[in-house]
């Protein structure tokens, strides 16, 4: 409820005057989003600092370039809410969550994925701890954002245009990992449809085809969109900006809601 109120205050100036003015207000909000290398960053600290190790820094830009959302959020089982999964060192060492891949054995792109947590660790093992348990500001990872994303197509504010990056073959996210995923028949993608926004001339275009590349079906149905019959549930921009419905992803990981025209268009491109 509180989040809904906050978003109400945020959205109000966007809804009163005309579309051009909304765009101006939106551009002001866009100024305040984190810089691209921080967009989609999750800091995990349910247990770390209490146990005397640095918090864990998880970057979506690196992982989503390699895997689909579905693989992690359905097959591996991470919640779509920072801190909610309560991943612990013990989970990782048993091969769950981060440890599902970071086990020192799995090979991805001809590279053995480095192992995660350990107890009674040796000097040699301790070298890898800082790749995840890293200082938020400086970081201790080997991957460099600038280097990794050089040549990726960009949106405003230098955010990565992931849709285009995938189209151009800059990224080819894996949707299946032998040890983690279950073989399943692929479901037929649904046709694209437009959602009629009450207060707007410019309807929202929702593309099932484009979302399915990253998300599969289970990421959205039934958790985010319970009803699957189009139009059964009415959701407003207030709710979206409070992190519900489209806002589950389009506030923190997928392109931000402040790029209004990415959703409010007249036809599917």
With binding defined as CB under 6 A, does residue 129 bind ligand HEC?
Answer: yes
With binding defined as CB under 6 A, does residue 266 bind ligand HEC?
Answer: no
**Cα–Cα distance list, 240 to 6, 182, 256, 257 (Å):** 12, 32, 11, 8
User: For residues 41 and 63, is the Cβ–Cβ distance under 8 A?
Assistant: no
Contact code string over 2-41 relative to ligand HEC, x by CB under 6 A: ------------xx------x---x---------------
Q: Before 222, cis peptide (omega within 30)? A: yes
With binding defined as CB under 6 A, does residue 194 bind ligand HEC?
Answer: no
With binding defined as CB under 6 A, does residue 85 bind ligand HEC?
Answer: yes
Using the rule CB under 6 A, which residue among 3, 10, 66, 175 binds ligand HEC?
66
With binding defined as CB under 6 A, does residue 114 bind ligand HEC?
Answer: yes
Contacts of 258 (CB under 8 A, 6+ apart): 26, 27, 29, 30, 33
Look-up of token digits 């970071």:
102
The nearest distance, CB 116 to ligand HEC, in angstroms, is 4
Footprint (CB under 6 A) of ligand HEC, residues 167-186? none
With binding defined as CB under 6 A, does residue 220 bind ligand HEC?
Answer: yes
Is 1 or 187 the residue whose CB approaches ligand HEC more closely? 187
The nearest distance, CB 35 to ligand HEC, in angstroms, is 15
With binding defined as CB under 6 A, does residue 248 bind ligand HEC?
Answer: yes
* Choices 2-10, 31-39, 145-153, 244-252 (CB under 6 A): range interacting with ligand HEC: 244-252
With binding defined as CB under 6 A, does residue 197 bind ligand HEC?
Answer: yes
Sign of torsion, CA 99 101 106 110?
Answer: negative
Distance, CA of 263 to CA of 55 (rounded, Å)? 35
Distance, CA of 228 to CA of 234 (rounded, Å)? 12
Is 1 or 34 the residue whose CB approaches ligand HEC more closely? 34
**185 dihedral zone (left: phi>0; alpha: psi -120 to 50; beta):** beta
């Amino acid at each position: 409820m509180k989040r809904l109120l906050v978003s109400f205050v945020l959205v109000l100036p966007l809804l009163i005057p005309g579309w051009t003015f909304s765009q101006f207000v939106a551009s002001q909000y866009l100024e305040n989003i984190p810089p691209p290398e921080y967009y989609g960053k999750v800091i995990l600290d349910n247990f770390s600092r209490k146990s005397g190790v640095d918090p864990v820094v998880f970057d979506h830009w690196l992982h989503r370039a390699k895997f689909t959302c579905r693989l992690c959020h359905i097959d591996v089982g991470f919640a779509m809410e920072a801190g909610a999964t309560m991943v612990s060192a013990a989970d990782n060492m048993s091969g769950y969550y981060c440890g599902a891949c970071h086990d020192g054995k799995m090979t991805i792109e001809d590279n053995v994925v480095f192992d995660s947590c350990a107890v009674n660790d040796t000097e040699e093992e301790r070298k890898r701890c800082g790749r995840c348990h890293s200082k938020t500001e400086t970081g201790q990872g080997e991957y460099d954002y600038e280097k990794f994303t050089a040549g990726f197509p960009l949106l405003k504010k230098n955010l990565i245009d992931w849709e285009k990056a995938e189209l151009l073959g800059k990224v080819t996210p894996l949707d299946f990992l032998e040890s983690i995923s279950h073989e399943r028949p692929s479901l037929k993608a649904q046709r694209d449809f437009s959602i009629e926004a009450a207060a707007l001339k410019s309807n929202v275009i929702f593309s099932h085809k484009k979302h399915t590349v990253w998300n599969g079906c289970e990421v959205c149905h039934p958790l985010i969109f319970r009803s699957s019959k189009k139009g059964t549930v009415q959701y407003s921009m207030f709710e979206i900006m409070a992190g519900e419905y489209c806002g589950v992803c389009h506030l923190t990981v997928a392109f931000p809601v402040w790029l209004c025209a990415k959703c409010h268009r007249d036809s599917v491109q």
